[in-house]
A and B are shown apart, each in its own frame.
Chain A
Amino acid sequence: MTLHEDHAVSIGSTDGAGPMVPVIHRVVAATADLDDTTTLTVRPVDNALPRPQPGQFNMLWLPGIGEVPISLAGLDGDDLVHTIRNVGAVTDALCSLQVGDFLGVRGPFGAGWNLARARGRDVLVVAGGLGIVPLGPLVDELISDRANFGQVSVVIGNRSPDTLLYPERVKSWAESLEVEVTVDVASPDWTGHVGVVTELLTAVNTDPANQIAFVCGPEVMMRFAAEAVIDRGTPAENVLVSLERNMHCAIGHCGRCQLGPMFICKDGPVLPWSRVDPVLKARSR
């Protein structure tokens, strides 16, 4: 069995009950970011789960309703922060949670962004829409460990200015990093970029030959972004993307998230484009 040596899967249980038993957490903060998107901060009632890395995910569970994989949006001290978009029955119920409500958490699961690989190099972060969520804690870590990286540029694509997630956080990133935000549809008062993220890649100041690119967004956007970055001279193995697939167990047992030879839950969700591209290309129809 192949596992990334630096990303050993840790099982989502604290007491030997087995990896499928959720650990109960309490909601300590709930913020509506957008009409359909909510950020929850959750704290373990008893034992804490292992500390997740940026790019990893947890399974969030509501008894009798269901469970969904949600990437780590950040850590607030020891509390887990998750941003959830309401796209179905389970996420709808999660987005409706109030402070004091309980939920189950399993995790952390999967391979994260592997920031260690980017040390001493330039870093290009490309986020599209909700893709900013798993990249957020990565950018926070880049800033807190700034001296260990070369040029760091963050390119964010979004549908419109008013649906940009974490506007204040993005503003604070821009104080220490090159940050460009582009939108598909501009409001009249918007003086920022209008267009797709790929069009901004010519303008960023990272060295394509010596950068690690971290890309997250809708799969179609990641394909175009990855190809644009590679066209500019970055080797495909240095372009990391985060994939989304159906997952029920998150530990390679349920089989649902398979993509070619990979289990997205444990070999991913973060994978180099060099591994993903051939499989996605072969997958048509």
Chain B
Amino acid sequence: MSDLASRLSDYSVFASLAPKVVAEVAECVTEVRFDEFEQVFTAGKDADSFYLIEQGRVAISVQPPNGDPVTISTLGPGHVLGVSWILPPHRLTFDATTLAPTDALMIDARRLREKCEHDSELGFALYARFAGLIRDRLVATRLRLLDLYGNTGSS
């Protein structure tokens, strides 16, 4: 396994996939670095890439018409930044901004989608893994909807 493939396999979305599949993904990787408070992507733009965060922290946020952006969640080492690339219309839904200097593996999503078009094994593997990722995010979001740490007292 190449060094890059091994690094990809550290992420749960690519862990223990067939080497052939990981190798296809590895062909789409570019290493990138962002400074603190740098915009990684912007809501409404085409989702042409996604990121595997190696170091640092990224805020997923939304910009209200007035005031500061509201952070919805943060992502850090081991997390995948960006899921919009895999589902039509391949459009980014939120802003992503670094909260600290951040190293990431950027994946060329346009190229990966093309590979998926021609390689159903690759396509199925990635759809299944990203569906799991989206499920985990949905569960986490629902947990936060419960406002568990709020005072549930009846006093």
Contacts and interface: CB of A to CB of B under 8 A. Distances in A.
A and B touch in the complex (CB under 8 A): yes
Nearest to B60: A194
Contacts of A114: none
A89 interface: yes
A225 to B, nearest CB: 10
A195 B77 CA distance: 14
A243 to B, nearest CB: 15
Contacts of B150: 159
B40 to A, nearest CB: 15
A211 B25 CA distance: 33
A230 interface: no
Given A157-B149, A220-B148, A195 B155 contact: no
Nearest to B73: A195
Interface string B58-87: 010000000111111110111100000000
B149 A86 contact: no
Contacts of B69: 188
Give the residue among B99, B143, B144, B153 with the most A Cβ atoms within 10 A: B143
Nearest to B143: A196
A128 B152 CA distance: 14
Contacts of B73: 194-195, 199
A224 B151 CA distance: 19
Nearest to B79: A202
B154 interface: yes
Nearest to B99: A191
A282 interface: no
B140 interface: yes
19 contacts: A86-B155, A87-B153, A128-B148, A159-B149, A163-B149, A182-B74, A184-B144, A188-B67, A194-B73, A195-B74, A196-B140, A196-B144, A198-B140, A199-B136, A202-B79, A218-B148, A218-B152, A220-B143, A221-B148
Interface of A: 36, 85-89, 91-92, 128-130, 157-159, 163, 182, 184, 186, 188, 190-196, 198-200, 202-203, 217-218, 220-221, 224
Interface of B: 12, 57, 59, 67-74, 76-79, 99-100, 136, 139-140, 143-144, 146-155
